[in-house]
Structure 1
Amino acid sequence: MEEMEEMEEVERVGKALKRTQGPYQWAMYDNWERLKRHYSDNPREVLVPLTTNNDTVLHVVAFAGRKDMLEFLISLIKEARQLHHALTMENGQGNTALHEVAATGNLEAGMLWVGLDNRVRIELARLDLHQNGARVIEIRNQLGETPLYRAAAFGHTKLAKYLATQVVDDIELHFQRHVDQVSILHIAVIGQHFETAVWLQKEYQNLAERKESNGFTSLQLLARMPSAFQGKFRKNKWKMLIYKCTIYSMHNTKANYFYNIPINVPIFCKFNNLPRDILGWPRIRMMYKEMQKQKSLLELTHLLVKKDHSWVESKKKMDGTISLVPSHDRGEEEEETRPIHKYTPLLMATSTGIAQIVEKVLQLHPQAAEAHDIDNQQNILHIAIKHRRLQIFKLVKKSKSITLRMAMKNDRDGNTILHQAAYMRYYSANTQRVGGPALQLQEELRWMVRVEKIMPPHFIMHHNHKGLTAEELFNSEHAKLLQSAQEWMKGTAQSCSTVAALVATVVYAAAYTAPGGYDSNGLPLLRDSAFFVTFVITDTVSLISSLASLVTFLSILTSPFEYQDFYRSLPFQLHLGFTLLFFSLVTTILTFTATIVLLIHLRKKWTTSLIYVVAFPVPVLGLMQLPLYKGFSQGLKYAFKKTRKIKFSICPASGS
């Protein structure tokens, strides 16, 4: 029986919607004139639903942001009570037309709707007609959102400001939705509408202290958004160049607008200011909006950090003592991984790697450096190290006194900061941004050495509650990575040595086959040509570099592949072998070019053209190998840099 009733209801709604499919299509495809003619002839259908969500034409037009169409449709409703019903009519989600206007940010349409509501209420009061419900600006949808809340959620600051001025009762009713207790500042931060969030925090400063149902403040939400602090144009050098030039130009045309953005641009940008109509260019306009967004983000960070004192929550504890012998084994108990939402904003920003928030907290609240996680008793240095946050690590390291104080703290499980560096629980290859297991292991070894440098010497042999030193913990945690690095390094060396041997064979054979042949005395016929000299030189260089590359890769294959080998020698040999192999390939191409030119006796212009054609792969190949040279330069840097020897055996000969 119930199924029959449901089927009948569905059929009834379907037939009703079929009658309005014309107006729906005209609205969806912006055929506004046809829509006007239809409702001019059928004014009573203005309040008839067009969609399965019970959206009327007023909802659809409001979402399209058409103020002129709203004025026309409202003019078709003459009776005051019916007009009040049209203004406050809700769709299936509880949204009025003003909610839809708030989503689009049309200020004029919002002013029109609020003004109409005020006039209708006055008219109904004059006629002594009973008014039901709240004002249209105070109506909440099913999520508990008012139009003001919804305007802030979509980042429409101007409309949100206007709606805030129209609130005559308690404005607190507009600051939080009842479904999940997300405040109006929370929703602006989640949507990354930082200009709106800055206005809200400046105007209503108590919003920074509000928490949503999971216990997050707005600063905690911001601390979980590392992508927001990463400029879109920082990864591309050319875009970054234009970005900086644009900043400089805007800095000159708009006084002090970018006062908090460092202006460090190439010299030629200072002498060639960008044109005044630069914002007409789509890409430059996008960069300009990104600059405004970053400016608002930094300002919002400052405002929220200034109001935050959660770092004071840390409780005092007894400092762990140094243990040079294995302590009582706590069994299989693992270090508790605390849910990140229980962290304070400072610790949360440290774990996610947002150095801007950490720096601002330490700037405004210097004592926050002493803060630590209450449960695990880990300070920001512990968290930065275990999450491999190098930028924050360097930030904390600026003060030797603070660094030493934090480095002497042990966490709940007796782990020093060196133990944190040995753990791989929070390890991510994306954080290191290096390719290949061997280079990843090298970065891990460097990270251990970097942390060891700030450790008190007597902490190095400390045993945690599981009876492990940092060395033993590192070896057990990285055993699988060591195995992968060994296999990867062997496979790479074998493949490259094969290529190097092949190149050496080719150029060796070419050395005894002079282009053009030999005379009766056994001398090359073309020995007086400049291209023959080029052929001899490039062939010799190619043979030497390919053989040197082969020797380098063979030396890798004969390595014991222990931890200490991956710290410096093996990565350096790999970069050196790659470079020599690359150089041998380039000189082989030049040898081939010189040979072709010597063999073809054409006019000069044809010879020149041929040189250009044949030599074209050389720069292309060079551009493709730029990452290789970058890696090689890093290898040279670490190979010849004067670093002290590792004082403890994180690289044991056994490799265990």
Structure 2
Amino acid sequence: MGEKSGEIEIEGGSMFSEAMRGAQNAYWAQDWKAFRQIFEKNKKELLNNFDLFEDSALTIATRSDDPKLLQDLLEMLSEQDRWLALTKPNCRGNTILHNIALRKRLSVRMVELIFKYENQAAATLPEEEKKKRGPRLLERKNERGETPLFRAAAFGNLKMLQHVFASHFVEAAQSEVDALKIHQYSKTETILLLVLIANILVCTSIQRSHCLLHYVALWIISKMNGRSLVMELNERKFTCLELLASLPQAFRSNYPMESSLTKLVYHLLPDERYQLIEATNSSESCGHHTDIETGPHESAKPPISVFTGIESLWNDKRNHQLAKRVAELLVKHDFSWQISYSNRTIQDSQVQLPPVLYNVEKRKQQLEQKEEKEDDQTKLQHYSTPLFIAASTGIEEIPLGTVN
């Protein structure tokens, strides 16, 4: 492999055709008009890899946030080629729908275009091809076992979750539950566990992302039969509530407010009444709804000049209320607090010394085996309930919710 003029080359020539390299340059320049014109003259290139991640040009076109561009590219292909282009996975097994799930500025029209052309292309496939075509795009899993909906939840894309749920899960309640099962599990986690893990990872970053992930967790519990997932365990044998209990930054009881003025303003800020059905991925996702006590929050919002950092303080309060709401729902369905770990055998808590061996090699081997066994036990087991974890991290809301 060599390098020439900034382009990746392989033995015998470039990895990409001249037309594809032109399309790549147009993409980096965000010149979508030139991007379209290149593929008008080289339609078969739409079926080839656009980059080293093996994404197609259709997937790249979704980053333009222009449904018309995606439609024009799809119209350039025959119906059989459309099927191949839409279902083409990249090196991680992600299809075009998996990649759209990452888009915060989701275009609902773009999603519907994909479903429309998928149905049209599938209808024209020969009978032998229909039998082996595999699941539809919405149910296809990547290498991690994630469907597009699962991936949307992991990245806080509530808008996609809501739209797809409203337009594609309108059958009887039991049928919906059965149809949703494929979206609830990956190879290693449930959808609810993954959202809470993502919550932990972003807890020190922007509060808005934190807030959105709480919203997604609430939505999963209420709309995707999330109650059945509450007691599921991740690879380290933690339940959802145990993961939330390890996130003290999300709760009011761990929020430092040193001055009396800060405490007063925090107390006087309006309480939110979250309506999941109205939430989107925009800045309006985490509040500014109407509730009975305060009326429209836009009119109740005090001027920022009244108190330095009031917007940040209000965002924090919203986040605390969302975390408390998630904890309340999890507490109702998590019964791990009833499990006692006092029945561990005495041998587990005793320090056992290996017998004295005069053979140095055998003694060394025995000590290594003992250390490996202890490491495995540490990874696979823990002996703390959500109550213990919450108490150790200083969270008051979870123990109080459990007691109540």
Q: What TM-score, normalized by structure 2, do the two folds share? A: 0.67
Q: 1:110 to 1:66 in 2, by over 3 A?
A: same
Amino acid in structure 1 at the alignment position of 2:402? V
Aligned to 1:53: 53
Quote the offset at 1:219 in angstroms.
0.9
> Which one-letter code corresponds to 2:328 in the other structure?
H
Q: Distance in 1 between matches of 2:395 and 2:96?
A: 40
Aligned with residue 340 of structure 2, among 293, 314, 319: 314
- Residue identity in the other structure for 2:391: T
| C-alpha displacement of 1:32 | 1.7
Structure-2 separation of matches of 1:92 and 1:252 = 41
* Residue type at the aligned position of 1:228: A
Structure 1 partner of 2:80: 81
Distance 2:311 2:38 in 1: 40
Counterpart mapping for 1:355-366 below 5 A: 355-363=396-404
For the 8 Å contact 2:250–2:319, the answer to whether it is kept is no
Matched, 1:201 2:221: yes
Report the equivalent of 2:22: 22
* Match in the other structure for 1:90: 89
With a CA cutoff of 8 Å and minimum separation of 6, indicate the structure with the bigger relative contact order. 2
> Partners in 1 of 2:101 and 2:288 — Cα distance?
35
Q: Does the 8 Å CA contact 1:305/1:361 hold for their aligned counterparts? A: yes
Asked whether the 8 Å contact 1:64–1:104 carries over to 2, the reply is no
Letter paired with 2:270: I
- Shift, 1:308, TM fit: 1.0
Gaps of 5+ in 2: 2-7, 170-175, 200-212, 274-286, 344-349, 354-373
Write the distance in 2 (CA, Å) between the matches of 1:241 and 1:355: 20
Q: Give the direction of change, closer, same or farther, for the CA distance of 1:299–1:59 in structure 2 (3 Å limit).
A: same
Equivalents in 1 of 2:15, 2:244: separation in Å?
48
Structure 1 position 195, deviation (Å): 0.7
- Partner Cα distance (1:156, 1:16) in 2: 33
SS in 1 for 2:145: coil
Matching residue within 285, 290, 303 for 1:254: 290
Aligned partners of 1:343, 1:50: CA distance in 2, in Å? 49
Closer/same/farther in 2, CA of residues 354 and 249 from structure 1, 3 Å limit: closer
CA contact (8 A) 2:248 2:254 kept: no
Alignment correspondent of 1:294 = 320
Deviation at 1:117, TM superposition (A): 1.6
Q: Which has the higher helix share?
A: 1
Q: Which amino acid aligns with 1:223?
A: A
Residue 249 to residue 343, structure 1, CA distance change in 2 (3 Å): closer
In structure 1, the residue matched to 2:40 is 40
CA separation of 1:68/1:228 partners in 2, compared to 1, >3 Å: closer, same or farther? farther
Counterpart-to-counterpart distance in 1, 2:153 and 2:165: 11
* Shift in alpha-carbon separation, 1:285–1:89, aligned structure 2, 3 A: farther
Q: Which residue of 1 aligns with 2:99?
A: 100
2:336 counterpart letter in structure 1: S
For the structure 1 residues 20 and 299, does the alpha-carbon distance in structure 2 shift closer, same or farther, using more than 3 Å as the test? same
Q: Could you say if the C-alpha distance between residues 224 and 130 of structure 1 is closer, same or farther in structure 2, counting changes exceeding 3 Å?
A: same
Task: Please give the alpha-carbon distance, in whole angstroms, between the structure 2 residues aligned to 1:230 and 1:355.
Answer: 9
Structure 1 position 353, deviation (Å): 2.1
- Work out the CA distance in 2 between the residues paired with 1:115 and 1:50: 24
Tell me the secondary structure at the aligned position of residue 53 of structure 2: coil
1:73, distance to aligned residue in structure 2 (A): 1.6
Q: How many positions carry a matched residue from both structures?
A: 321
Q: Residues 157 and 206 (structure 1 numbering): CA distance in 2 closer, same or farther, change over 3 Å?
A: same
Change (3 A) 1:227 1:14: farther
Q: Does the 8 Å CA contact 2:230/2:333 hold for their aligned counterparts?
A: yes
Taking a change above 3 Å as real, the CA distance of residues 142 and 226 of structure 1, as seen in their structure-2 partners, is same
1:103-122 deviation line (CA, Å, top 9, x unaligned):
11413322222232223223
Q: Which residue of 2 aligns with 1:70?
A: 70
Give 1:152 shift: 0.8
When residues 26 and 245 of structure 1 are mapped into structure 2, their CA distance, relative to the original with a 3 A threshold, is farther
Q: CA deviation at 1:146?
A: 0.3
The residue identity in structure 2 corresponding to 1:170 is A
Judge conservation of contact 2:269–2:314 (CA < 8 Å) in 1: yes
Q: 1:52 to 1:352 in 2, by over 3 A?
A: same
Output the amino acid matched with 1:177: S
CA offsets, 1:51-104, max 9 Å, x none? 111111222222454433222221222x11111111111111100010011111
Q: Deviations over 1:518-538 (max 9, x none)?
A: xxxxxxxxxxxxxxxxxxxxx
d(CA) in 1 for partners of 2:319, 2:241: 17
In the aligned structure 2, how far is the partner of 1:134 from the partner of 1:290?
42
Amino acid at match of 1:186: L
Which is higher, the Rg of structure 1 or of structure 2?
A: 1
Separation in 1 of the partners of 2:239 and 2:246?
Answer: 11
Residue 207 of structure 2 corresponds to: none
The residue aligned with 1:154 is 155
2:266 and 2:313 in contact (8 A); partners too: yes
Q: Which SS does the other structure have where 1:104 is aligned?
A: coil
Give SS of 2:15's match. Answer: helix
Q: Tell me, which stretches of 5 or more residues in structure 1 are unaligned?
A: 260-271, 318-329, 364-656
Aligned partner of 1:115 in structure 2 is 116
| Change over 3 Å in CA distance of 1:80–1:332 after alignment to 2 | closer
Which residue number corresponds to residue 181 of structure 2?
172
Report if the CA contact (8 A) 1:223-1:354 is conserved. Answer: yes
TM-aligned CA distance change 1:274 to 1:308, over 3 Å: closer
Q: Deviations over 1:264-311 (max 9, x none)?
A: xxxxxxxx95469x8xxxx77665554443332111100101111112
Rounded to whole Å, the distance in 2 between the matches of 1:231 and 1:32 is 50
Percent identical: 25
Q: In the TM superposition, what whole-angstrom CA distance separates every residue of 1:317-352 from its partner, at most 9, and x where no partner exists?
A: 7xxxxxxxxxxxx9999xx99958431111122222
